Amino acid sequence: MNIKIEGPLLDQSSTCVPILRLLPEWFGIEAVILDYERDIGHLPTFLAKEAGSLLGFLSLKQHYPFSAEIYVMAVRPEAHHGGIGRALVAAAETHARGLGVEYMQVKTLGPSRPDDGFARTRAFYEAVGYRPLEEFKQIWDKNNPCLVLVKRL
């Protein structure tokens, strides 16, 4: 695969949301997709493309001068585990480092709710250097425990 990473770009909702719709195991709630559609529009977003077609994306949110979050990322299902996620995270981290960011975070479903798909997601984040900090039942709700993972850049 010859993957090209573009970005950061703004106004990428209509490009990226179709990828979320290919992943109902992770993004199965329409209201959540609509929230992402609104938010991706104003967040710096990185696109992974092969021969011009979009394979994945990552939107970054900077909360404070020294901290930023992988706000949402997704790769087309048929391209999973092919190195695209790793390339997107590397591009976002290089950009964040250039802005002076020292700490990255990402939130995902925590391990107290067993789920094969999100177990793979957590394995991915750990593989690219993110470490579980704490699981919160108050951020989303008690049925959707939120695991915060962090990485020092």
Ligand X SMILES: CC(C)(COP(=O)(O)OP(=O)(O)OC[C@H]1O[C@@H](n2cnc3c(N)ncnc32)[C@H](O)[C@@H]1OP(=O)(O)O)[C@@H](O)C(=O)NCCC(=O)NCCS
| The only residue of 40, 74, 96, 149 in contact with ligand X, by rule CB under 6 A | 74
Contact between 123 and ligand X (CB under 6 A)? yes
Q: Collapsing DSSP states into helix, strand and coil, what is residue 60? A: strand
CA 144 – CA 131 distance, rounded (Å) = 19
CB 36 within 8 A of CB 12: no
Contact between 124 and ligand X (CB under 6 A)? yes
Contact between 42 and ligand X (CB under 6 A)? no
| The only residue of 101, 104, 108, 149 in contact with ligand X, by rule CB under 6 A | 108
- The alpha-carbon radius of gyration of the chain (Å, integer) is 15
Q: 37, exposed or middle or buried, with CB in 10 Å at 0-12, 13-18, 19+?
A: middle
Contact between 28 and ligand X (CB under 6 A)? no
Angle at 10 between CA 36 and CA 128, to 5 degrees: 65
CA 23 – CA 76 distance, rounded (Å) = 8
Tell me which stretch binds ligand X (CB under 6 A): 6-14, 79-87, 96-104, 136-144.
79-87
- The pair of structure tokens assigned to 104 is 């990255």
| The only residue of 38, 120, 131, 134 in contact with ligand X, by rule CB under 6 A | 120
Contact between 26 and ligand X (CB under 6 A)? yes
Contact between 82 and ligand X (CB under 6 A)? yes
Least distance (Å) from ligand X to the CB of residue 117? 7
Tell me which stretch binds ligand X (CB under 6 A): 2-10, 76-84, 97-105, 131-139.
76-84
- The pair of structure tokens assigned to 60 is 């970054």
| The only residue of 7, 44, 85, 110 in contact with ligand X, by rule CB under 6 A | 85
Contact residues for ligand X, defined by CB under 6 A: 23, 26, 73-75, 80-86, 108, 120-121, 123-124, 127
